[in-house]
Structure 1
Amino acid sequence: MDIADQIKTIEDELSRLNVTLIAVSKTKSNEEILEAYHAGQRAFGENVVQELVRKQETLPKDIEWHLIGHLQSNKVKYVVPFVAMIHSADSLKLLKEIDKQAKKYNREVDCLLQIHVAAEETKFGLDHVELIELLRSEAFIQLTNVRIRGLMGIATNTPNTKEIKEEFHELKSLFDGIKASFFQDDEYFDTLSMGMSSDYKIAIEQGSTMVRLGSTIFGGR
């Protein structure tokens, strides 16, 4: 099945479930991205800033670019002018820099707070205590050009589906609790980004509203 057929099949599946598809295009050529684009896909995810900027400059301007990888504060200025959403906001320092750069372009940048739910210590993200402290901080409340749209998390890389299910369930429970406590009247806090090619069906069962699929669409590297 080619890229266009994969896009159509997956979009048909996800649209029935009201789940948004981010096509993870990291390491993929412009030609492969354009094949998905011409099949109707508009939201693409990249995890390396330099690659994201290069592709944004050369590909159609109605593409919605998502930064899904870890973002260093000193690289924020390169993506803020155009990025549709930053999935990996994992510190107050980073949010303050996004806010600072967004002011220069009179933009409000959509962000997801990345939560650490996996067993691996190498994965990035806030733990529950850090999340609450961030949301309660005066510095966070004073941000004017960052809009928190929800949470993002990456499950443990394991064949143990029970463990993955529990991690996604924990993240969904946290999302519901945070929405009720901090964003009750915020219509924009509506996104729970969890699930990749290996585990997106489990993520959807546990309440994901956005999945990030690479190999499912484009095949292996």
Structure 2
Amino acid sequence: MNAAKRHEIFTRFRNANLHPTTELEYTTPFQLLVAVILSAQATDKSVNLATRKLFPVADTPEKILALGEAGLSQFIQRIGLFRTKTKNILATCQMLITQHQGEVPRSRPELEQLPGVGRKTANVILNTAFGEPTIAVDTHIFRVANRTGIAPGKNVLIVEQKLAKLVPSEFRHDAHHWLILHGRYVCKARKPACNLCLIVDLCEFKDKNLAQNFDSPPPPAA
């Protein structure tokens, strides 16, 4: 894919959704951190249902730590892998208190030291909470980058590195959200809704599905 085509793709994404953001609900960097840890192998909808009850009760490392394992589990037990996530969140809260004065660190190495936080989660925090132009490659972004030809790669790190290099700088901060939303609502894994796609004429996917797809709702409005 050439640079001009890639620029046009992100221009269209921007025109359709000027201020994209995560679908996870949060008001502080710490709340976002907890939500992203919970979102691993879970839907944003299920995480939001849990945090709507959790955060009014405990929205700081100190308050969540005070809940203990049994108390925190009650709020997140409907989320996949909740036992492991409970332990990771409590351990993360302890580290934030003892090593970071209760604040979420703003560097990738420090974020990745927190239990339950890998490179993808760190990139989400850096981008969404702190405004860094990082791109967290999840399954949606990996699929869209490869399927469209925007930044093909054999693994998520290669795709991340290619996107960081190839996405024009003016779009880099929001590229993460545009690509996730596109993969979640349009360029879906089993049945891409090419008939709804803003970039269908630019996409390099050979097996485009242009038939009407009634199972695919339009992406969220800007």
TM-score band by shorter chain is under 0.3
* Structure number with larger C-alpha Rg: 2
TM-score scaled to structure 2, two decimals? 0.25
As a proportion of its length, which structure holds more strand?
A: 1
TM-score scaled to structure 1, two decimals? 0.25
